[in-house]
Amino acid sequence: MTAKLGDMTPVMDLTSQKGTGPVRARRPTYVDLLAPCNHACPAGENIQAWLALAQAGNYRRAWELLVQDNPLPGVHGRVCYHPCEDGCNRKDLNEAVSIHAVERFLGDLAMAENWPYPLTAKRSGKRVLVVGAGPSGLSAAYHLTRLGHSVEIHEAGPLPGGMMHFGIPAYRLPRADLMREIGRIEAMGVRIVLDHPVDDVLAEQKAGGFDAVFIAIGAHIGKHAEIPARDAARVLDAVALLRGVTTGEAPRLGRRVIVYGGGNTAMDAARTAKRLGADEALIVYRRDREHMPAHAFEADEALAEGIKIKWLTTIKEVVGPDLTVEMMELDAKGYPQPTGRYETLHADSIVLALGQETDSGFLRHLPGIEFAADGVVKVSASMMTGHPGIFAGGDMVPSERTVTIAVGHGKRAARHIDAWLRGQQHEEPAKPPIVGFAMLHLPVYSDADPTLQKELSAAARMSGFEEVMAGLSEAEVRREAQRCLSCGNCFECDNCYAACPEEAIIKLGPGQRYRYDYAKCTGCAVCFEQCPCHAIEMIPESM
């Protein structure tokens, strides 16, 4: 007997009542709960499941399960900010499982072995146009193809990848690895048309005979600040700088470069400036480190490469190579306030890294489409805009802007587009409860230290754009995957089987787990207490 999670209220406090003697008030039942890594993944990956396959050495099956949700594991293993690891319960023992490193290994192995993406759906006869070949557009195209539809991507730029290609430096994402994974999506049958900007969506849809459209044009325009300037040093935006490096048109920045901003792009711009020959790269940011939008490890990597960061500082005026900056103080709410104290800095170039905007003006003539104040397009829960059959996702809709969130948008949109094309509505299944660290019954682990990825030395990094972070070996990947605690899901450790004093637990064979013989079970809860991953619940007998 297995309790239905939707009908069950988990019972976790057994201090007041344990064994119940001849009259059993509660019984144990096996459950599958939600691991926090799975819950935290914006792409919706079943991380715990593919980690279990990887630790068993079944790499191809692990990869096939992974790409059911995310077609770009080699990319994500390098550039994702891995919120899954922030949620990982293992971090409360010592360090989270290095999920991104295992994902990278699987993606790279699949490329090396040329494993094809699984395709099983029958052809639907429907055609979908995707506008933009960035992470969201590529993800949508991939999932729509797997669902049986024919997909064509129209990309305004000369290369696919969007900001993965033109915004992420090669030292984080080598272009050959990116292009190989994109090429595998093309090999599925997705057609990518480059240098093809779309100005009139409805005309493009009609001309190509497309039944639906997914728009994912990203945010490629750098925001600018109103800074008084006279005969200023060279001022450019970070997006243009990073794009220029990718296209072989890197600007000459001079010996001293100031980057204005505190996000991940500011860190990338400063690190890129050093690689282009700047003697000094200084980041100027108006708040402190605690309030910066950049991820902490991004700032750590920048500092390790000799980047300097001037906190609580804002640029007031630029006159020639001199910048007048004002010192700031944070108020009680954490917002920067002027102090009236000024300082003069010198720079040969100023790089503005103040965020990006989307160029969505071509959509404003479409009836029904609404825009937020910052220009992003409003969509429903189904990712559809106000115009029937036109969906949108990625950086151009309200959300945090990361590669993984964009890929998750593409998958979600594909499922809703598929349902819409079939005259149906897609409903996401309800999720079971999440297993927190306090719910686990763990033994003492002595070998829980993570496997660290090797890095280029700070000096070696300055010679070019070689990838900074190395991958793990197969042995290291197996060991890292074995650090997973299997939170909320049985992994057949036999603890419950060995602990039961009534021999009420029956083994069903490898991969089949166990069942209870309730005629013998007294409800003593020893099995519950001995289950390390909380795959057993004690529920009222009436259930």
Q: What is the pLDDT of residue 53?
A: 97
Same fold: 41-117+451-481 with 127-221+358-421:
no
Mean pLDDT over the full length of the chain: 90
CATH T-level fold of 226-356: FAD/NAD(P)-binding domain (3.50.50)
Instruction: Give the pLDDT mean for 294-303.
Output: 92
Question: 280 pLDDT exceeds 90?
Answer: yes
Q: Which amino acid is at 151?
A: V
Backbone angles phi, psi at 290, to 5 degrees: -60, -30
More confident residue, 320 or 1: 320
Q: What is the pLDDT of residue 305?
A: 93
Tokens of residue 514, six digits: 């166990």
CATH T-level fold of 41-117+451-481: Fumarate Reductase Iron-sulfur Protein; Chain B, domain 2 (1.10.1060)
Beta strands 191-193 and 150-154 are parallel
C-alpha to C-alpha distance for 322 and 24, rounded to whole angstroms: 80
Question: 198 pLDDT exceeds 60?
Answer: yes
Question: 504 pLDDT exceeds 90?
Answer: yes
Question: 303 pLDDT exceeds 70?
Answer: yes
Are residues 144 and 393 in contact, defined by beta-carbon separation less than 8 angstroms? no
Is residue 14 very low, low, confident or very high in pLDDT (cuts 50, 70, 90)?
A: very low
Closest CA to 99 of 72, 118, 117, 81: 81
Question: 250 pLDDT exceeds 60?
Answer: yes
Instruction: Give the pLDDT mean for 516-530.
Output: 94
Boundaries of every domain in the chain:
5-32+490-540, 41-117+451-481, 127-221+358-421, 226-356
Number of H helices, E strands in the chain: 18, 20
CATH for 5-32+490-540, among 3.40.309.10, 3.30.70.20, 3.30.420.40, 3.40.190.10? 3.30.70.20
Which CATH number is associated with domain 127-221+358-421?
Answer: 3.50.50.60
The partner residues of 152 in beta bridges, in order of sequence, read 129, 191
Q: Which residues of 22-38 are buried (b: 16+ CB within 10 A; e: fewer)?
A: eeeebbbbbbebbbbbb
Phi/psi class of residue 40: alpha, beta or left (left: φ > 0; alpha: ψ in -120 to 50)? alpha
Instruction: Give the pLDDT mean for 404-420.
Output: 97
The partner residues of 116 in beta bridges, in order of sequence, read none
pLDDT tens for each residue of 212-225: 999 999 877 777 77
pLDDT tens for each residue of 88-106: 999 998 899 999 999 999 9
Question: 118 pLDDT exceeds 90?
Answer: no
Beta strands 336-346 and 322-330 are antiparallel
Question: 380 pLDDT exceeds 50?
Answer: yes
Is residue 12 very low, low, confident or very high in pLDDT (cuts 50, 70, 90)?
A: very low
Is residue 6 very low, low, confident or very high in pLDDT (cuts 50, 70, 90)?
A: very low
Question: 332 pLDDT exceeds 70?
Answer: yes
Q: What is the DSSP annotation of 369-438?
A: --B-TTSPBP--TTSB-SSTTEEE-GGGSSS---HHHHHHHHHHHHHHHHHHHTT----PPPPPPB--GG
